[in-house]
Amino acid sequence: MKMPADHIREEISQTGAISFARFMELALYCPETGYYEKKKDNVGRQGDFITSVSVGSLFGELLAFQFAGWLDELKNRHEKLQIIEAGAHDGKLAADILNWLQIHRPVLFSAIEYTILEPSPARRQWQQEKLSPFSNVRWRSSVNSSQPPSAGILFSNELLDAFPVQRLGWDASGRQWFEWGVTLDGELLRWSRLPLAASSLPANIVNLPAALLEVLPDQYTIETSPAAESWWHAAAGILSHGKLLAIDYGFTDDEMISPARTKGTLRAYHRHHVTDDVLANPGDQDLTAHVNFSAIQKAGEAAGLRTETFCTQPQFLTRILAKAVPEKLFASMDARQIRQFQTLTHPEHLGRAFRVLVQSR
């Protein structure tokens, strides 16, 4: 079977150095052997990294409560409401949300359809196994497939950080930006510099003040994710009414460019160890970078969405909890649920870097 490293070497041999974004795409998603195609237990304590979903079912239950509130507001205007999830991986978050709705909002549960946007046949199969108890789950291959727009909620947890990123580097002596590429040195994968047309620079780089460029060290690096931005724009396009929501770690434009963070935010995870050796063992380690939420927000607004909320995960989840108290939901959390809430919100755990963006139409 052809491994990601074989695909990468073959492509470099044929075309010359490839962009890092192409390297990341092949390492994570090449059919059958890419990191996210070949096994489903890479997320969670037994895998390479944890997410809010793998902390326990509380995260999905709190989202389900919030989604029920939003869907109640939309209910009178539209017949069939949808919850649409992207980046569903093994289907655990979908199961947590559907279980909660079935028990606590049975009427709404039977009125909605839960759709998973899933381009990968392998992942779709894992999800079908996990979600077999539910008859109201559908699949759709991507945001680009031609189907009528949907009303409801389209959401993702840690999807945007998994899109391939472009790595841009600053050439201090030439006073210009280049793109980091990947090439071969014998059998070894090495970084190389690719030319970058000034016209393809993202807005946050173009607008950097000259005084800041003066102090940027040579090879100062920053990531950008045109793939995540165009996905968000397309996702907005399939929503006739409702909310588009992303939960992920990320920065605003201003936070993204910090002279002190000279190597960007790109990193690899393997068995809960973080490394910046992102070219090592393609397909065996996760690759990820912080999301630029300002760019995502602009992509949604360009597709006609209104920004409702941009806040931290602790703020978002605490507000949900506060709304649930009068309904006596989540009122008597047991020790296990309290631990989960702390992990989701504490600044030393998932509360530090995670943000929530909600846009609506």
Ligand X SMILES: C[S@@+](CC[C@H](N)C(=O)[O-])C[C@H]1O[C@@H](n2cnc3c(N)ncnc32)[C@H](O)[C@@H]1O
- If you compute the radius of gyration of the chain from its CA atoms, what whole number of angstroms results? 21
Looking at the Cβ atoms of 192 and 313, the one nearer to ligand X is 313
According to CB under 6 A, which one of 63, 71, 86, 246 is a site residue for ligand X? 86
Supply the minimum distance, in Å, between the C-beta of residue 150 and ligand X.
16
> Using CB under 6 A, which of the segments 118-126, 165-173, 277-285, 309-317 binds ligand X?
118-126
Supply the minimum distance, in Å, between the C-beta of residue 143 and ligand X.
8
Supply the minimum distance, in Å, between the C-beta of residue 343 and ligand X.
14
Alpha helices (H) in the chain, listed in sequence order: 4-15, 20-29, 35-38, 52-55, 58-74, 92-104, 106-111, 121-130, 203-206, 210-215, 226-237, 253-256, 293-302, 313-324, 335-345
Does 119 bind ligand X (CB under 6 A)? Our answer is yes
By beta carbon distance, the residue nearest ligand X is 87
Supply the minimum distance, in Å, between the C-beta of residue 293 and ligand X.
17
φ, ψ dihedrals at 276, nearest 5° = -100, 10
Tokens of 163: 């899109």
Supply the minimum distance, in Å, between the C-beta of residue 17 and ligand X.
24
First to last CA, the chain: 45
154, 159, 161, 162 alpha-carbon torsion, rounded to 10° = -140
According to CB under 6 A, which one of 94, 159, 256, 289 is a site residue for ligand X? 159
**Closest of 240, 50, 91, 259 to residue 153, by C-alpha:** 240
How many residues belong to the site for ligand X (CB under 6 A)? 18
Question: What span, in angstroms and rounded, lies between the C-alpha atoms of 96 and 333?
Answer: 16
Supply the minimum distance, in Å, between the C-beta of residue 353 and ligand X.
14
3-state SS, 71-127, equals HHHHHHHCCCEEEEEECCCCCHHHHHHHHHHHHHCHHHHHHEEEEEECCCHHHHHHH
Does 157 bind ligand X (CB under 6 A)? Our answer is yes
Does 87 bind ligand X (CB under 6 A)? Our answer is yes
According to CB under 6 A, which one of 83, 94, 162, 165 is a site residue for ligand X? 162
Residue 63: what residue type?
L
Does 246 bind ligand X (CB under 6 A)? Our answer is no
> Using CB under 6 A, which of the segments 9-17, 114-122, 124-132, 177-185 binds ligand X?
114-122
According to CB under 6 A, which one of 21, 63, 98, 117 is a site residue for ligand X? 117
Residues that bind ligand X (CB under 6 A): 36, 43, 51, 53-54, 86-87, 89, 93, 117-119, 123, 157-159, 162, 231
